[in-house]
A and B are shown apart, each in its own frame.
Chain A
Amino acid sequence: MTRTLNRWLPALTLVVWGFILLYFYGSGRLAAFLHPLFRPGVLIAGVGLLLLAAGSAVGGGEECCEEDACGHGISRLTVGKILTFVVLLLPVTLAFFSTRDGFSLNAIENRGVVMDASELAGRSGALEVPQDVDHLTISVIDLLYAAQDERLQEEFSGKTIEVVGQLMAEKTANPRGNRMRVVRMFMNCCAADAKPVGALIEFQALPEAQVPELSWVRVVGKPSFPMEGGRKIAVLKVDSIDVTDPPDESMLY
């Protein structure tokens, strides 16, 4: 019995983990979870786990080490093997079937949407704005940085700006009730560290057709940088807004 458990429980656990890793990598769903830098590691680990599973099964269920020198306090015991099997497979399998590859409104609000570039790390390079175009497609975070950068404010002046993001209600900086937020998640390494970054958009009047919150929208408008609450903020005055598909990299810029 112990030999059978030794042989098959670890192998089965590793096979399930390896399969899940390879599935997310192969299906492309991994893009929502990890920064591109870490994605190859998932492929390698998936293959590695399957190889380890094969080796574990071929090994025929022998103990990992000599009994008096073994430090594997949990997997040495039969009950430990079963506990490991359950703990490793149950949450992972449940998560596998229930994840929606994105955060709900509740989770985004719990993280607190960054509306001020001073709460972010400094940008890695200056944004180059072409002078000979009237229509610029930029990211939400560029709009936020522009509120603190007079050069960008001048360069954006008079141009039509287009941003893509998820729509959220604006509950604070909304004195006339005609503002909303357009939000993007900003991931450093993995979705768990993703920070929502938002910019204000302002309507002449709120559109009659209500778009559900967190819908992906393309907003086109003119930027302005009024002083509010003692600081300069970025507001995109909306000319048009359309529901759109999420970008390929919904957690990156």
Chain B
Amino acid sequence: MNWFSFHFADFSFSFLSILFEGVPFLLLGALIAGIVDVFVPARWIARMLPQNPTAAVLLSGLLGGIFPMCECGSVIVIRRFLAKGLPVSCAISYMLAAPVVSPLVALSTFAAFQGQGPWVMTFMRLLLGYGVAVGAALVVQRMRLENVLQPKLIASLPKAGKTGERERSEDAAETRLERGGLKIAALPAAAWKTEGLIAKLLRVVRSATADFLDVALFFVIGTALTAIFNTAVDQSIILPLATNGPLATVSMMGLAGILALCSSTDAFIAASFVAFPFTAKLAFLVFGPVFDLKLFFLYGVIFRRRFVVLLAVGLFIAIALICMRLAILDV
């Protein structure tokens, strides 16, 4: 039996349909990121965090609800947060949770899973995404900073102890900025006071355009791969995977890692795998936003390669085990 038969017209139809569905969400995310980039200094967020490190991690994981960011955007943002003295654990909590714990993602997941338990899927995705992010952050809290961050980034950070505890002193923060060279945001500190609204809006446009194009690049590649799979592959050949719970979960997570989809649109693709069990799709939706091929490269900008690999393995195992357990509980 011929399991692969590619027809470009079918590919085009499927490809464009995913694109049309995803682009509005992608654009909205880029605009929000641009506005946050220009109008919201990272220090405002840092000030909101409690003194207790665990409470700070828990709260950081929820910041995506206020400052929604897709996974590509969150990497950019936490780099700025780290420079401002945000603890690494809090940064990781935000970075991993923000692509999932966001109103936009909740909305798109709910919309995509119409007819497939939208309330349960949305709730489970947000809950599990948050739990995994906080869990990973609490582990990182106990790790030595030099095992986590890139050396050049450590050099730019405050003398913050092994776990990157936050300093609240404004002066200390300013000193760090001078020394480290990493700025609070893309906008130079002085410009916050001097730039007019039009100039700031133009910066929003530039930042949003760059965010949109950066992410759209990976979105197009992911969408193209998905469209090929969606139309050219005889889906009956993956049915043995779909009917085997653990195999279905692991294969969907592997697919999420390869497709590297944006978290604001991946639910539409997951929902199209109708043959796969609910928990395998949940695993796809939780793992994809926290780790995939493009994130492997993006994380490397901030973190040591060995840490990135450990993070990938840890997240994969944790999410797979939780989803397999949920499958046994018949969720």
Binding site for B on A (CB under 8 A): 10, 13-14, 17, 21, 24, 30, 32-34, 37-38, 41-42, 44-45, 48-49, 52, 55-56, 58-59, 62-66, 68-76, 83-84, 87-88, 91-92, 94-96, 98-104, 106-107, 109-112, 121, 124, 188-193, 195
Does A104 contact B7, Cβ atoms closer than 8 Å?
Answer: yes
The answer to whether B235 and A110 touch across the interface, beta carbons within 8 angstroms, is yes
Of A62, A65, A94, most B-chain CB atoms within 10 Å:
A65
Q: Is the CB of B220 within 8 A of A190?
A: no
Please determine whether B112 and A188 come into contact, CB atoms closer than 8 angstroms.
Answer: yes
Contact between chains at A189 and B15 (CB < 8 Å): no
Q: Which residues of B contact A72 (CB under 8 A)?
A: 76, 210-211, 214
**Interface extent on B, as a size class?**
35 or more
Which chain B residue lies CB-closest to A45? B24
Residue of B nearest to A34 (CB): B20
Most buried by B among A45, A52, A73, A189: A189
Partner of B202, one of A17, A33, A59: A59
Assess the B206–A59 pair: CB atoms within 8 A. yes
A74 x B214 contact (CB < 8 A): yes
A241 to B37, CA, bound (A): 61
With CB as the reference atom, state the residue of chain A lying closest to B8: A98
Quick one: which of A30, A32, A84, A100 contacts B217, CB cutoff 8 A?
A: A84
Most buried by B among A49, A74, A94, A112: A74
A190 touches B24 (CB 8 A): no
Chain A: minimal CB distance from B135 (Å): 25
Does A106 contact B5, Cβ atoms closer than 8 Å? yes
Inter-chain contacts of B27 with A (CB < 8 A): 45, 48-49, 52
Give Cα distance in the complex from A190 to B269, angstroms: 9
Please tell me which stretch of B226-234, B255-263, B303-311, B316-324 contacts chain A, meaning at least 4 of its Cβ atoms lie within 8 angstroms of it. B226-234
B183 touches A21 (CB 8 A): no
Q: Is B143 an interface residue (CB 8 A)?
A: no
Asked if A41 contacts B216 (CB within 8 A), the reply is no
Report A-chain residues with C-beta under 8 Å of the C-beta of B224: 91
Docked-complex contact A190 and B7, CB < 8 angstroms: no
Note all chain B residues with C-beta closer than 8 A to A74: 213-214, 217
Does A52 lie within 8 Å of B24, measured CB to CB? no
Shortest CB-to-CB span from A62 to chain B, Å, is 6
Nearest to B11 among chain A residues (CB) is A95
Does B186 lie within 8 Å of A91, measured CB to CB? no
Chain A residues in 8 Å Cβ range of B183:
66, 68-69
How far is B14's CA from A168's CA once the two chains are assembled, in angstroms?
Answer: 21
A33 touches B23 (CB 8 A): no
Indicate if the CB atoms of A190 and B186 lie closer than 8 Å: no
Of chain A, the residue at the smallest CB distance from B270 is: A193
Q: A48-B24, A110-B233, A192-B269 are in contact. List 15 more A-B contacts (CB 8 A).
A: A42-B23, A64-B207, A71-B77, A73-B297, A74-B214, A87-B220, A95-B12, A98-B8, A98-B12, A99-B13, A107-B14, A110-B5, A190-B20, A191-B14, A193-B268
* Chain B interface SS verdict (over half): helix
Pick the 4 closest A-B CB pairs, nearest first: A71-B76, A65-B186, A55-B205, A41-B24
CA distance A100 to B231 in the complex (A): 14
Which residues of A have CB within 8 Å of B13?
32-33, 95, 99-103, 191
Q: B residues within 8 A CB of A14?
A: 209, 212
Asked if B298 and A92 sit within 8 Å, CB to CB, the answer is no
Residue pairs across A and B with Cβ atoms less than 8 A apart, 6 shown, are A68-B181, A69-B83, A88-B213, A110-B233, A189-B21, A193-B274
Expressed in whole angstroms, the Cα–Cα distance for A70 and B210 within the complex equals 10
Q: Give the contacting residue for A42; candidates B10, B20, B31; CB below 8 A.
A: B20
User: Bound complex: CA of A102 vs CA of B20, how far in Å?
Assistant: 15
Instruction: Determine how close the nearest CB of chain B comes to the CB of A28; give it in whole angstroms.
Output: 13
Residues of A within 8 A of B301 (CB): 71, 73
How far apart are the CA atoms of A135 and B298 in the complex, in Å?
A: 62
Flag whether B331 is at the interface (Cβ < 8 A). Answer: no
Residue of A nearest to B31 (CB): A48
The contact of A112 among B80, B185, B235, by CB within 8 Å, is B235
List chain A residues, Cβ under 8 A from B23: 17, 21, 42, 45, 49
Q: Which of B16, B226, B234, B297 contacts A96 (CB 8 A)?
A: B16
Task: Provide the bound-state CA to CA distance between A236 and B211, in Å.
Answer: 54
Select from chain B the residue with minimum beta-carbon distance to A29. B16
B204: nearest chain-A partner, CB-CB: A55
Q: With A55-B209, A94-B12 as given contacts, are A190 and B18 in contact (CB-CB < 8 Å)? A: yes
Q: How far is the CB of A20 from the nearest CB of chain B, in Å?
A: 8
A10 to B214, CA, bound (A): 11
Q: Which has the most chain B C-beta neighbours within 10 Å: A64, A106, A121, A192?
A: A192
How far, in angstroms, from A102 to B230 measured CA to CA in the complex? 13
